[in-house]
Amino acid sequence: MSTEVIKAAKFDPAFRAEVANLVKGFDFGNCLACGMCTAGCAYSDVHANNDPRKFLRKLILGMREEAMNDPYYWLCTMCERCTIECPMGINVAAIVRGIRGTTNEAFSDDPAKKGPGFMVKVVEETIESGNQMNVSQEDFMDTIEWVEEELQAELDDPDYKIPLDVEGADFMFGFNAREIKYYPQELQSILKIFYAAKANYTISSKKWDATNLALFSGNDKDFWTITKPLFEEMERLKAKELIVTECGHAFRSCRMGYRNFWDKESDYKFPIRHILQLMAEWIKEGRIKLDPDKITETVTYHDPCNTARKEGVYEEPRYVINSFIKNFNEMYPNKQWNLCCGGGGGALATPEYKVERLAKGRLKADQVIKTGAKIVIVPCHNCMDQFNDINKEFKLGVKNEHLCALIAEALILDEK
């Protein structure tokens, strides 16, 4: 049996201090080395280099070279499943994000190494174009006009207009650039629901993408460069609230950006809510009515880590589901104890780790199979891409849907 020799002379106490400074209020002395983080990580033994306890020990001992050459901090999906098991509440995801963001500045011997290339490319394009799909202003307006015409026909309302840049609305809607570039029918479904609820809302023509991949790359300067213009549009248009589409990392980015930056920089205050929180409110108030006989298949629901565990939104989606879907089977575990789908933490933007991502997906596939569901509600675009890959890889034969798409399908419109 071979034993790996660790030379104490290589330990670097300064490295431990540098890492501790990445996360405000973090103290390595709190780590008990108990292994509960590894026990809480569903994927610690699914593939190599995915053990949070081992990685933390490298940091605590000051093993700079070993830690910074460890693929763990890119393989970790930053889901925080380990954190809710930690008796000391150590947020491994925050440490991982901090290290990702400073890899080429403080720790790396290779200043050209900025992390996975595709993730960096998307961040740079988002800064340049204002959205992660690099959609031009002309293409954005063309798509908005197309969706508007489609809704005029569907609603039999030739006067229908998408409210762009309206001041003083009850809320501004921030969505995912995929809903412009690839899935405009999903945007159409959401706006149809807004129409049925007679919502007083607006969409900014300048900054409408709420997503931010710098949440995963870890660079705070890039992060705030991307999210700040969305909040500036809130202030410019004097919107009372920001509603974010079904996208876990967009929702988390907006909430985190508000707490960490905007709240300290601006006097213009506003709440930020997930669209499914708004849907639950409208259903309770009777502003939208849904046909309980429309969705007949067995349905299950996936809790995105950024929405459920990190931001506490998991009861409202279930209220919405139970209000009109008769056959709903839960995955277990669920809510704040859910299993990450394997696509979080920017895993979809790191194609070099696709094998590990799909290995994680096996556990989620098993969860879906046990529910017997034919429809999987996946209220997050990153999770949706992962679920689509899981569906193909493990031949599940299910339909993956956003919840708003099912709401729009079951929507009962008032007669004119």
- Give tens-digit pLDDT for 361-395: 999 999 999 999 999 999 999 999 999 999 999 99
Indicate the pTM of the whole model.
0.94
Q: Determine the average pLDDT of the residues in 75-89.
A: 94
How high is the pLDDT of residue 112?
Answer: 44
Q: What CATH code would you report for 9-113?
A: 1.10.1060.10
Closest by Cα among 245, 226, 215, 232 to 131: 226
Share above pLDDT 90 across residues of the chain, in percent, rounded to a whole number:
84
How high is the pLDDT of residue 3?
Answer: 53
Both tokens assigned to 252: 């988390």
Q: Tell me yes or no: is domain 289-412 CATH 3.40.50.
A: yes
Q: Determine the average pLDDT of the residues in 129-154.
A: 97
Domain ranges of the chain: 9-113, 118-279, 289-412
CB neighbourhood size of 49 (10 A): 15
Count of all residues that appear for the chain in the document = 416
Under 8 Å between Cβ of 72 and 55: yes
**For strand 375-377 and strand 411-412, is the pairing parallel, antiparallel, or unpaired?**
unpaired
pLDDT tens, 146-163? Answer: 999 999 999 999 999 999
